[in-house]
Chains A and B, each alone.
Chain A
Amino acid sequence: MNINYNFAFFDEDSKREIRRATLKAVAIPGYQVPFASREMPIARGWGTGGLQLTLSLVGKEDILKVIDQGSDESVNAVNIKKLIHLTTGIKVTDQTAEATIIQSRHRIPEIPLQAGQILVLQVPLPEPLRYYEPSEFETKKLHAEQEYSGAWLMLFEQIMNYKTLATGADHPVLVHDRYVMAPSPIPRFDNPKLNSSPALILLGAGREKKIYAVPPYTKVISLDFEDYPFRVESFQDKSCRLCAAKGVYLDEILDSITGETAYQCNDTSYCLQRLNGRLVG
C-alpha cells in the first residue's frame, strides 16, 4: 500500500473549509470562529491550530519560518517545519524579514513585522473568559452580549490580592473595541506588537477548534485600569550576554559552573543575526 499525500497534506476541500473560517475571522476581528479542525500528524496541543492555518494558506512561492518560544530550533518548531517542508517542498528560513508566513508558538519576533507578512500564532486556550466560566455555551453568550465584567473583575481581584496585575503570558486584550481576546500565551512584552500591526495575525486553536484574527492595522489594547496600568515584563538594566541587545525579551539562564544568573535573547534568530553583524542596533 503506497500512498502519496497531497500538497500541504490536506485534501483541497479541507483547506478551503479552513480558509472560509479564516476569512470570517478576519472580517470579525477578535471573534473566535468555530471550524471543524482536522486531526494532524502532530499532537493536539502541539500547534495543530497554527499548522492547519499554515497548511491551508501555503502556496508554492511561500517562504516559511517556524518558531517555538522564540527559537527556530526548538522541538516543536523543528517538527512543524519538517512536516510542512515534507508535504510542500517550500523554502524555509530563520530570517524574520524574509518569511512570508511565520508560524509561532508564544512569541512575536523582535524584528518588526511588515505589511504582506502573515503571523500564525498557535493557541492552546482561545477562550479569555474560561478562567471564570467553564462552560462554552455560557462564554459564547458573554461574548455576544459584550459582557466582560468578569474579565475586569479577574484583574481587579489580582490587584486586591497582590497589589499588582498578576497575569503572566496571555494577558487579555480588547480588539477593535469589541471582543476580548486571548492573545495566546505570548508574554505581555509582545502584547503591544499586536496593536496596529502591519502584518495579518491569525490565531489557531486546533484542539478547541477555533480560528480568530487580528487584521492589519487593528486597534488592540491590553486590559488594565487607569491607576494600575498594564506593564510588560521588565528586563531593566539587563542585556543579552551574547549580543548585548537591550529592550528585547530575555531568557534567564543559570550558569551551571558559576551559579550566576545570565540573560540571553529569547528570539534566537534575532540574536544570531546581531552576532553575525547583519543587524545593527
Chain B
Amino acid sequence: MGYVAVKGGTQAIEESIKRLKYERLKKGLVLDCPKIESGLRCLIDQVMSESSLYSEALAAMSIKQAEGSPEEAVFLLRAYRSTLPRKHYSRTVHSEDMVVERRISASFKEIPGGQILGAAYDYTHRLIDFELIEETDEDAINWVREFNKESEVSCETIDLANLPKVLDYLREEGLIAACANDDREPDDVTKESVQFPTSRSERLQILTSGQTGAVTSLGYAALRSFGALHPNVGELRIGNLPLYVDNPFNEQNENKEVEGDDEFKDEREDKDAYYIGEIKVTEVETLFPTSVRKENGQRVIEFGLGYGICYGQNETKAIAMSILDHCLEIGGSEYPTHNEEFVLMQIDSVESTGFISHLKLPHYVTFQSELDSVRKSRKEGSKINEH
C-alpha cells in the first residue's frame, strides 16, 4: 500500500507515450516523407528556418513525427543539430550570386532586371479550392507536364544568377549612407552564449532562427505603434545560393576572400573549393527614412537599412526581421522592440515553448516551500492584529 503512493510514474509515462503514437496512427493512414516534402513546402521552410538546420529530408521526417506541429518539429531538429560536430565552415556567401526565383521591389517600379513575381500567395484570393479534395497524383503530373511545355515557349533572356541589387542604385546616388565593409569573423551564437551588448552578427543569427510568429509580432509592434516605423521594402528576393567549402587539404586559400564585386565572381568559383550544394533563402532589405545631422549642423534625411534573411520562402518573417534589425541597430530604451534583451531573449521557439511547458511539471517541493512562507506571514500578520 505504502509503495503505491510513493512509486508508479514510470508505467503511466510509457502508456502516455503509447497513447500519443495511437493518436498519430489511429486513422490507419501514414504520411510518406516524400509526400510531406512535395506538399508541405511552406511548413518545411518555416521549420528549417526556425531550427537553423537546412535539410528538407530531416524537416519532413520531423514534421511527420511531430504530427505537423511546427514547435515540436523544430524541437526535434534542434536536438538533432546538437549531435553534429562542426567540421567545416562554408565560404562567405554573397547574395548577389543568388539564382533568383522571385524578386520584387516596393520602392521602385522599374528596377534593373525587372520585377520577377515568381511564386507567391500575395496575388491569390484566399478562397478554399474545394476541388482539391479530388486532386490525384496523376492530375499533378499532367498539370506539371502542361506547365513545362508552356515555359519552354517563353525563353528567358535575363541572367537570373546575375541580378543587380536594387539598393546599389540608391547607394550610387548617395541616398544610403555608405558603410564600411565589416569582414570580422561573425560571432557564432551556437558556440558562445550571447553577452550584452550584442554584435550585429549575433543579432542577425538570433533573429533569423526566431519563431516565425514571435518575429512577426514584434516586427508588427514596431511597425504599428512602438516607434511607428514604416519602412519601404527596397528589395525582397528569393532564390538559391550556392555553398562552397575550401579544400580541407589546402587551407591557405581560406583567408584569401575576394571582394563581392561581380567581376571577381568567377575568381571566387575557381579557387580550390568544393561546391557542396545550395540553400534557398528569402532576403529582404528595407529602407527607413532617418534624419541625420551633417557636419555643418544641417539636418538631412537619409535612408537607414534593415536586413532580413531566412532559410526557405518565409517572406513575412524576413521583412519583420529586417524591421527588428533596424530597431536594434538604433537601440534606445523608449520601446521594448528596440531593447535587444527584450527582443533577442524571447523569440526562440525552443526556449519559449520549453519554459512555458515546464509549468506542467510537478512543483510540489517549491509550492510546499511557498506555502510555508504564506502560513508564516499570516501567523505574523494575525499576531499584529491581536496587539
User: Chain A interface (Cβ within 8 Å of chain B)?
Assistant: 1, 5-6, 9-14, 17, 34-41, 43-46, 48, 68-71, 73-79, 105-107, 124, 134-137, 140, 162-170, 185-189, 207, 209-210, 233-234, 242-243, 249-253, 264, 266, 268, 271-272, 275
Contacts and interface: CB of A to CB of B under 8 A. Distances in A.
Interface in B61-108: 61, 75-76, 78-79, 81-86
A14 B86 CA distance: 10
Contacts of A137: 196-197, 341
B297 interface: no
Contact of A163 (B81, B350, B355, B381): B381
Interface stretch (B34-42, B135-143, B187-195, B288-296): B187-195
Contacts of B369: 168-169, 185, 187-189, 233
Given A10-B82, A166-B373, A168-B369, A45 B354 contact: yes
A43 B362 CA distance: 15
Interface string B291-323: 000000000000000000000000000000000
A44 B10 CA distance: 21
Contacts of A250: 368
A34 B8 CA distance: 37
Nearest to B196: A137
Contact of A11 (B85, B345, B354, B371): B85
A117 B368 CA distance: 28
Contacts of B372: 168, 233-234
Contacts of B76: 41
A17 B57 contact: no
A78 B17 CA distance: 13
Given A78-B10, A233-B372, 14 more contacts: A17-B191, A38-B190, A39-B350, A46-B358, A68-B362, A74-B362, A163-B383, A164-B376, A168-B373, A185-B365, A209-B194, A251-B365, A266-B364, A266-B368
Which of A38, A43, A74, A242 has the most CB atoms of chain B within a 10 A radius of its CB? Answer: A43
Interface string B1-40: 0110111111001000000000000000000000000000
B362 A69 contact: yes
A76 to B, nearest CB: 5
A106 B79 contact: no
B145 interface: no
B357 interface: yes
Contacts of A124: 355, 358
B361 interface: yes
Shortest beta-carbon contacts, A-B, top 9 = A44-B354, A45-B358, A39-B78, A45-B355, A209-B193, A43-B354, A168-B370, A38-B82, A73-B9
29 contacts: A10-B83, A34-B195, A38-B190, A43-B354, A45-B356, A46-B357, A46-B361, A69-B366, A70-B365, A73-B8, A73-B9, A74-B9, A74-B362, A75-B13, A78-B13, A135-B341, A136-B196, A137-B196, A162-B376, A163-B377, A163-B383, A164-B380, A168-B373, A170-B366, A233-B372, A252-B371, A264-B6, A266-B368, A275-B2
A5 B83 contact: yes
Given A1-B61, A41-B79, A252-B371, A166 B193 contact: no
A73 B9 CA distance: 5
Contact of B193 (A34, A76, A79): A34
Contacts of A79: 13
A104 to B, nearest CB: 10
A10 B190 CA distance: 14
A229 to B, nearest CB: 13
A135 B363 CA distance: 27
Which of B7, B57, B361 has the most CB atoms of chain A within a 10 A radius of its CB? Answer: B361
Query: How big is chain B's contact interface, by range?
Result: 35 or more
B242 to A, nearest CB: 24
Contacts of A140: 195-196
Contacts of B61: 1
Nearest to B364: A69
A77 B380 CA distance: 37
B351 interface: yes
B195 A187 contact: no
A207 B368 contact: no
A39 to B, nearest CB: 4
Contacts of A169: 365-366, 369-370
Contacts of A252: 368, 371
Contacts of A271: 6
Contacts of B191: 17, 36
Which of A38, A45, A70, A77 has the most CB atoms of chain B within a 10 A radius of its CB? Answer: A45
B247 interface: no
A68 B380 contact: no
Contact of B7 (A13, A73, A105): A73
Contact of B5 (A9, A105, A242): A242
Interface string B324-360: 0000000000000000010001000011011111100
B384 interface: yes
B373 to A, nearest CB: 5
Nearest to A271: B6
A47 to B, nearest CB: 9
Nearest to B189: A36
A209 B368 CA distance: 28
Contacts of B353: 43-44
A243 B1 CA distance: 12
A187 B368 contact: yes
Contact of A69 (B86, B350, B365): B365
A77 B6 CA distance: 14
Contacts of B341: 134-137
B305 to A, nearest CB: 25
Contacts of B370: 168-169
Contacts of B366: 69, 106, 168-170, 185, 187
B201 to A, nearest CB: 15
Contacts of B82: 9-10, 14, 38-40
A213 B75 CA distance: 28
